[in-house]
Structure 1
Amino acid sequence: MIEEQPKCQYCNSKNQQCTEPAGQSGLCFWHDKDCDKTGSDVKLRLEQYAKNGGMLQGLCLKQADLANIDLVNHHQKMGYDFSESDFYKANLNGAHLFNIDLTNASLMKADLRNANLNCATLHHVNLLGVRWADSKIENIKIGKRIRQEVEAHQANKSKQLQESLNLFEQAEEIYRDLRKHSEHEGIFTMSGRFIQKELTMRRFQMPKYSAKRISSKIVDLFCGYGEAPIRIVAISICMIILCAFLYTLTGLSYAGEIQKFDPNASLSESLQLFLSCLYYSVVTFTTLGYGDFTPVGISRAIAALEAFTGSFTIALFVVVFVKKMTR
C-alpha cells in the first residue's frame, strides 16, 4: 500500500490549507522559511506555481532572485494574492507586479527598481528600506496608515515610549521615500498626501507639550502642511460665524445707534441683527472696512483680532492654493 505524502501544514487567514507536499519541517518549499530561495530557478518555478493555482499567501521568499518575474494574473480581474508573504531583501528589479495583492506582506529592503506596481494593494505592508527608483506606482493602495504607523500608536498606548519613537521614525522614513518617488514620477496628488504623513510622523517624535509640536499641529489643522487649502476655507467660515455671534452679544454701532442682542426682541429682529453682524464679520475678516458699522467696547478687541487673523489666513490661502496649482 502506497503511503500518501503529507501535505503542507500552512493555513492562510481564511483557514485554507496549502496542498503542496510537505518536507521534514511540515511545510512545503514555498512556505518553509528555512528553504533556500536564492537559486536561479526560483523565478521560473514561482511563475509556474502561480499559474497552476498554488497557494500564494504566506510565501517565504527572503533574498529570492526574482528579477523581471511576471506575477501578473493575465486576463483576470483580480491580481495574484501574495498577502502575508515575506519578500525580505528579495530582488524584484523589473518585476511585473500589476494589480498584485500584498496585504500584510513584508517588502523590507526589497529591490523594486523598475518594477511595475501599478494598482497594487499594499495595505499594512512593511515598506522599510524599499528601493523604489524608476518603479511604477500609479493607483497603488497604501491604506490610511502604514504598518509602522499603526504599531507606533499601539506601542504609545501601551506606554512603550521608546519603541513608539522608533516606529514613528521608521514610518517617517517610509513616507519620505514614497513622497520623493511619487514626486519623481509626477504623481503630485499622492506626494501631497505622503508629505502630510511624513511631517505628522515627525511631529509625533517631538516632546508631547513642546512648542514645536504644538506649532506643527496648528499648521496641520490650518492647512495640512500646505496640502489642504480647503481647510483654510473651512476655518475662515467658522471664524466669521463665531465672530458674528460675538458681535451680536457685544454690540455694534450703526448710524450712531448701538445694535445689540435683546432677549425681549422678536425672532425676526434677532435674525436681522445676526445677519448684520455676519455682514460686518465678513467685511472685517477680509479687511475691507466699509465703515457703516463700527465696533464698540469689547467688540473692538474682537474686530482687531478678526482682522489680523483674516489678513493672515487669506495670505496663507493664496500661498497654499498657488503651490497646489503650480504643481
Structure 2
Amino acid sequence: MLESPLHEHHLLRYEVEELAEPFREYERTAVVSFFDENNKKVTVQKYGIITGDDIFKKIDEGEALNLNHAYVKNFSLTNYRTNKGFDDHVYIHLKNFSAKKSFFDCDITSDFSYAEFGGAKISFESAIFGNGNTNFFNANFSHCDVSFKKAKFGSGSTSFKSVKFGDGGITFNNTNFGTGNLSFVDADFSNGNVDFKNTYFGDGHVDFKFARFASGDISFERASFGKGKKDFKNVEFGGGKIDFRRVNFNDGDVSFEGVEFGNGKVSFRSTVFGYGHKSFHLADFAHGEAQFDYADFGSGEITFNKATVAAISFTGCHLNCYTDLRFGQCTLIDLSNTVVRDILDVKPENEKVIIQEMNLVGMRILGRIFIDWRGNDVYDLIYNQQKTSLFQKAEQFRILKENFRNNGQYDDEDESYVEFKRCEAKAKGIEEPKLKGKGYLAAGINYYFQKYLFDHVGRYATAPTRVLMNVVVTVIVYGLLYFVCTNYFPGFGTVNTTLPDTMNESGSFLNCMYYSAITFFTIGYGDYFAGGYLKLLAVMEGFSGVFLMSYFTVAFVRKILR
C-alpha cells in the first residue's frame, strides 16, 4: 500500500466512505480516498471495518488480535480501562497483535497507552494512523520483534514516550511520521537492533531525550527530518554501531548534548545539517571512533565543547560557521582536506583543552583558527602523528604559520615557521633520499650543514638575539685561534702589526680578540694583519661576519616590522 505515491506525501488528506458490504473476514467495508496537497486524488484503499467494542471483546476473551487490513475508528485503551473500572496505569494485554496495512482513524487520539503486546512479532507494517494524535505512552512490546515498516502517520502528535521495547528487532524503516511532533522521550530500546533507515520525521519537534539503547546496532541511515527541533539530549546509545550516514537534518536546531555514544563506531558521514545550532556539548563518544567525513554542517554554530572522544574525523568537510572543537578529552582530530570559512575554535579559555593529535593536511583556511601554540601544545599535536610524513607535517606547520600571522600571533607564527622549515629540511635531506634509495650521504651532509647554519645560528631568522650570541661566540673562537697560533704555533701563522715595536701587542690575548672583532666586522684599520695561513682564517672570519650581520639584520627587521 505505502509503496504507492501516498507515502511520498507528508500531509495526510483523506475521505472515508462506509459500505454495507463484506471485505475479507469483515462484515462492512471502508473505502478511503487519499488526496495530495492540491486535493488531487492519489489512491483509493479498501479496509474491513471493525469497531472498538469488537476489539475489546477479543481482549476480554483473550483472543489473538489480528487487525490486518482493518479500519479502526477511535481505538482507545484508556476508554477500555474506564469502562472496566481499571486504574489508569493498568497494562492491557494484546495477544498476538498484528495490524498490517490497517487504518487507525480518530477524532482525537488513537490510544495504545499502557498496552502490553504479546506474540512472536508485533506488526504495524504499512499501517496508517489518521490525523489525530497517536499515543503509545508506556506501552510494553516485551521481547518481540516490532515492525512499523512503511507505516504512515498524519498531522497529529505521535508519542512513544516511556515505551519499552525488548531484545527483538525494532524497525521503523521507511516510516513517515507526518507533520506533527514526535516523542521517544525516555524510551527503552533494550538490546535489539533498531532501524530508522529512510524514515521521515516530519516538521514537528522530534524528541529522543533520555532514550536508552543497549548493545544493538542503531541505524538512521538516509533518514530525513523536517524543520523542527531535533533533540537527542542525554540519550544513551549503548555499545552497538551508530549510523547517521546521509541523514538530512534540514533546518532547525540539532542537539546531541550530553549523549553517551558508548564504545561502538559512530558515523555521521555525508550527513546534511541545515540552518540552526548543532550541539554535541558534553557528548561522550567513550572509546569509539566518530566520523563526520564529508558532512555538510550548513549554517549556524557547531559545538563539541567539553565532549570526550578517542578519534574523530571531519575529512572533506566545509566548515562555514563558528565551530567549537574545544574537546574535554580527545586523542585524534582529523581535519584533513577541510575548508574553514569561519572560525574554528580549539583555544583554551577557562578550562584546559586536551587534544593529543590534530591532522591539518590539505586544510584550506578562508576564515581563522583560534589556537594557541603553548595552550594547545601545537608542537605535540603535529609531531604525535604516526601516519603523516615529514612533508605533510611541514605543510601543517605552514598552514598554522599563515593562520597565526593573520591572527597577529607573531610569536606563535615564529614557532610554526621554524618547525615548518625543520620538517621541510629533514624531509628533503633525510626522508626523501631514503625513499629514493640514493644520494643519502651527500643529502645528509647538506642537511646537517644547513641545520647548523640556518637553524642553530638564528632559528631561520626568527631569533635576532640568538644571532647576536653566535656573533659573540664566533669572535671569541677566532680570537682564541689567533692567540694560540701566534703564541704557540707561529709556523702556522701569526698576527702581525704595522705599529712600532714599542706599541706592538700582537701576541696578547686582548689584542687577538681586538683583531678578531675588527676582522669580523670588516672594519680593517690596518694596524694589525694576519700572516701565514692565518690569512685564510681571517678571510673566513670576514665572510662569517658579513653573513651573520646580514642574518641579524634580516631577523631584527622582521621582528620590528611586525
Distance (whole Å) between structure 1 residues aligned to residue 364 and residue 257 of structure 2: 23
What residue in structure 2 maps to residue 192 of structure 1? Answer: 414
In 2, are the aligned partners of 1:179 and 1:190 still within 8 Å (CA)? yes
Q: SS of the counterpart of 2:334?
A: coil
| Structure 1 counterpart of 2:367, one-letter code | D
2:290 matched to 1:55? Answer: no
Residue-by-residue CA offset, 1:89-145 (whole Å, 9 max, x unaligned): 345431341644544222223343213415155542122233422124242525325
2:337 matched to 1:109? Answer: yes
What residue in structure 1 maps to residue 247 of structure 2? Answer: 39
The alpha-carbon deviation at position 301 of structure 1 amounts to 2.7
In 2, are the aligned partners of 1:108 and 1:126 still within 8 Å (CA)? yes
Residue-by-residue CA offset, 1:57-113 (whole Å, 9 max, x unaligned): 54513234445344265xxxxx44445323333454313416445442222233432
1:281 to 1:81, Cα distance in 2 relative to 1, 3 A? farther
Residue-by-residue CA offset, 1:17-51 (whole Å, 9 max, x unaligned): xxx74443599759866612443449723235377
Distance (whole Å) between structure 1 residues aligned to residue 325 and residue 292 of structure 2: 21
In 1, are the aligned partners of 2:482 and 2:534 still within 8 Å (CA)? yes
What residue in structure 2 maps to residue 240 of structure 1? Answer: 475
Distance (whole Å) between structure 2 residues aligned to residue 98 and residue 151 of structure 1: 22
Gaps of 5+ in 2: 1-141, 143-165, 168-187, 192-211, 220-235, 260-278, 434-439, 487-494
2:515 matched to 1:280? Answer: yes
In 2, are the aligned partners of 1:148 and 1:168 still within 8 Å (CA)? no
What residue in structure 2 maps to residue 139 of structure 1? Answer: 372
Give the root-mean-square deviation of aligned CA atoms: 3.9
Distance (whole Å) between structure 1 residues aligned to residue 281 and residue 416 of structure 2: 38
Distance (whole Å) between structure 1 residues aligned to residue 237 and residue 335 of structure 2: 20
2:216 matched to 1:24? Answer: yes
Distance (whole Å) between structure 2 residues aligned to residue 37 and residue 86 of structure 1: 14
1:95 to 1:34, Cα distance in 2 relative to 1, 3 A? same
Residue-by-residue CA offset, 1:248-294 (whole Å, 9 max, x unaligned): 1012346535754xxxxxxxxxxxx4333223322221223344444
Larger relative helix fraction: 1
What residue in structure 1 maps to residue 539 of structure 2? Answer: 304
The alpha-carbon deviation at position 53 of structure 1 amounts to 4.5
Distance (whole Å) between structure 1 residues aligned to residue 389 and residue 555 of structure 2: 30
Q: SS of the counterpart of 1:55?
A: coil
Larger relative strand fraction: 2
Q: Which has the larger radius of gyration?
A: 2
The alpha-carbon deviation at position 247 of structure 1 amounts to 1.4
1:106 to 1:118, Cα distance in 2 relative to 1, 3 A? closer
The alpha-carbon deviation at position 325 of structure 1 amounts to 1.8
Deviates more, 1:312-321 or 1:222-231: 222-231
Equivalent residues in 2 for 1:285-296, closer than 5 Å = 285-296=520-531
Distance (whole Å) between structure 2 residues aligned to residue 309 and residue 134 of structure 1: 43
The alpha-carbon deviation at position 309 of structure 1 amounts to 1.3
In 1, are the aligned partners of 2:356 and 2:384 still within 8 Å (CA)? no
Residue-by-residue CA offset, 1:186-221 (whole Å, 9 max, x unaligned): 433333333333333332332442386466433333
Q: SS of the counterpart of 2:333?
A: coil
2:550 matched to 1:315? Answer: yes
2:303 matched to 1:71? Answer: yes
Deviates more, 1:238-247 or 1:177-186: 177-186
Partner of residue 94 from structure 1, selected from 312, 318, 321: 321
In 2, are the aligned partners of 1:149 and 1:167 still within 8 Å (CA)? no
1:322 to 1:33, Cα distance in 2 relative to 1, 3 A? farther
1:278 to 1:26, Cα distance in 2 relative to 1, 3 A? farther
Deviates more, 1:30-39 or 1:300-309: 30-39
In 2, are the aligned partners of 1:123 and 1:143 still within 8 Å (CA)? no
| Structure 1 counterpart of 2:365, one-letter code | W
Distance (whole Å) between structure 2 residues aligned to residue 39 and residue 21 of structure 1: 19
1:230 to 1:22, Cα distance in 2 relative to 1, 3 A? farther
The alpha-carbon deviation at position 241 of structure 1 amounts to 1.5
In 2, are the aligned partners of 1:149 and 1:168 still within 8 Å (CA)? no
1:284 to 1:128, Cα distance in 2 relative to 1, 3 A? same
Partner of residue 427 from structure 2, selected from 205, 227, 240: 205
Distance (whole Å) between structure 1 residues aligned to residue 281 and residue 408 of structure 2: 37
1:47 to 1:114, Cα distance in 2 relative to 1, 3 A? farther
Name the TM-score, length of structure 1 as normaliser: 0.69
In 2, are the aligned partners of 1:109 and 1:129 still within 8 Å (CA)? yes
In 1, are the aligned partners of 2:520 and 2:546 still within 8 Å (CA)? yes
Distance (whole Å) between structure 1 residues aligned to residue 256 and residue 475 of structure 2: 62
User: Which of 1 and 2 has higher RCO (CA within 8 Å, sep 6+)?
Assistant: 1
The share of aligned pairs that are identical, in percent, is 20
Distance (whole Å) between structure 1 residues aligned to residue 242 and residue 464 of structure 2: 52
2:354 matched to 1:124? Answer: no
What residue in structure 2 maps to residue 13 of structure 1? Answer: none
In 1, are the aligned partners of 2:302 and 2:323 still within 8 Å (CA)? yes
